Amino acid sequence: MTIKKINNLNLIKMKKILILLFATILVTSCDESETTYDALSYPSDAFVSMKTASASALESNATPIDIVVYLANSSAGTTTATTVSFTLSSDTAIEGTHYTIVDGRTHFEFAPGVNQDTIQIIPIDNLVEDGDKVIMVTLETSSVSVGFPGPDSLGKTTVVTLQDDDCAYTLSELGSAGWSGEDNVPASQAGPNSSQITTSFDGTNLLIEGIGYAWMTDTSYWDEVIIDSFPVIAAIDIPTGVITIALQPMCNTTWNGNPQPAYSLSGTGQYVSCTGTMTINYDIHQGGGVLRSFTEIITKN
């Protein structure tokens, strides 16, 4: 055997010794600083715990929030189901008003051989600016312990936060705002166009003026001149932001100096207060029928 081969063998032996020495030190260190637990014995040592300590979602989010619980059970041959109840507590959130539990669940249930169960919480958008809602989901003691073994019972509770995404506003505020945006007029009609919408407030109603004007006055397409402009009343449901524009006079125009049949307008829409965005879907009426239907999306400046 050559000197090189002998050196390689010695190096391999030395690595093995170092690995064994490191493992011995690690085991000794763990034994000295941590409590050693025996294998779980069902049901006395089995326990359930939450997957996460917290969860959150926007109040307007219709997607359920999953609350997942795991069962730690060393006995794979268990033949009975394990049931663990939970409580919901909050200083600000009311079930049925701010949230609902899917299927009215009141407990977690683990069939034999199953180690995971989930309940779902769906936020309810109350359309009121009233702050975040915090819900405590807490496991209740049953045939098994709740929370991880130890004095703190970590994993016993999940804190769910429903984030308020409603923003208060008034019709007077909308009436005095400046707006910018555009319509969805197709390219075949020289669109889209920058919006010409303005708003005002008469003490009772929100008035909107200029809906559809960008299309009507576009010199590369319709090319009419507005000689009489009539602000239309836009009824807005404050809680929901739903907009309704009943059929009413819109404007009078001329084309090549000749008066045209009068225009009227009707429409629906949505105002999203937190983004300050108004979407208006409208029909332009002329001669007893709908001439064009477009949408304008405008945002407060």
CB 95 within 8 A of CB 121: no
Q: How far is CA 24 from the centre of its chain?
A: 51
Q: Rounded to 5 degrees, what are φ and ψ at 194?
A: -65, 135
Kindly state whether residues 218 and 154 are assigned to the same domain. no
Kindly state whether residues 90 and 58 are assigned to the same domain. yes
pLDDT for the residue 14:
36
Q: Which of 144, 163, 182 is the last residue of a domain?
A: 163
Kindly state whether residues 155 and 269 are assigned to the same domain. no
Any domain includes 201: yes
pLDDT for the residue 42:
54
Kindly state whether residues 149 and 70 are assigned to the same domain. yes
Kindly state whether residues 295 and 210 are assigned to the same domain. yes
Counted domains in the chain = 2
pLDDT for the residue 77:
56
Kindly state whether residues 179 and 294 are assigned to the same domain. yes
Any domain includes 13: no
Any domain includes 66: yes
Kindly state whether residues 97 and 202 are assigned to the same domain. no
CATH number at residue 241: 2.40.128
Kindly state whether residues 64 and 148 are assigned to the same domain. yes
pLDDT for the residue 186:
98
Tell me the average confidence (pLDDT) per consecutive run of 10 residues in the chain, 301 residues long.
41 35 32 46 76 93 94 72 94 95 95 93 89 96 85 91 91 97 98 98 98 98 98 93 97 98 98 94 97 98 95
Kindly state whether residues 108 and 63 are assigned to the same domain. yes
* DSSP secondary structure string for all residues of the chain: --HHHHHHHHHHHHHHHHHHHHHHHHHHHHHHHSPPPPPP-TTTS-EEEES-SEEEEETT--SPEEEEEEEE-S-TT--S-EEEEEEEE-SS--BTTTEEEGGG--EEEE-TT--EEEEEEEE----S----EEEEEEEPP-SSEESSSSTT-TTSEEEEEEE-------HHHHHT--EEEEE---GGGT---B---EEEE-SS-EEEE-TTHHHHT-TTTT--EEEEE-PEEEEE-TTT-EEEEEEEEEEEEEETTEE---EEEEEEEEEETTTTEEEEEEEEEETTEEEEEEEEEEEE-
pLDDT for the residue 44:
61
pLDDT for the residue 52:
95
pLDDT for the residue 158:
97
pLDDT for the residue 33:
44
Domain residues for the domain of 242 are: 171-300
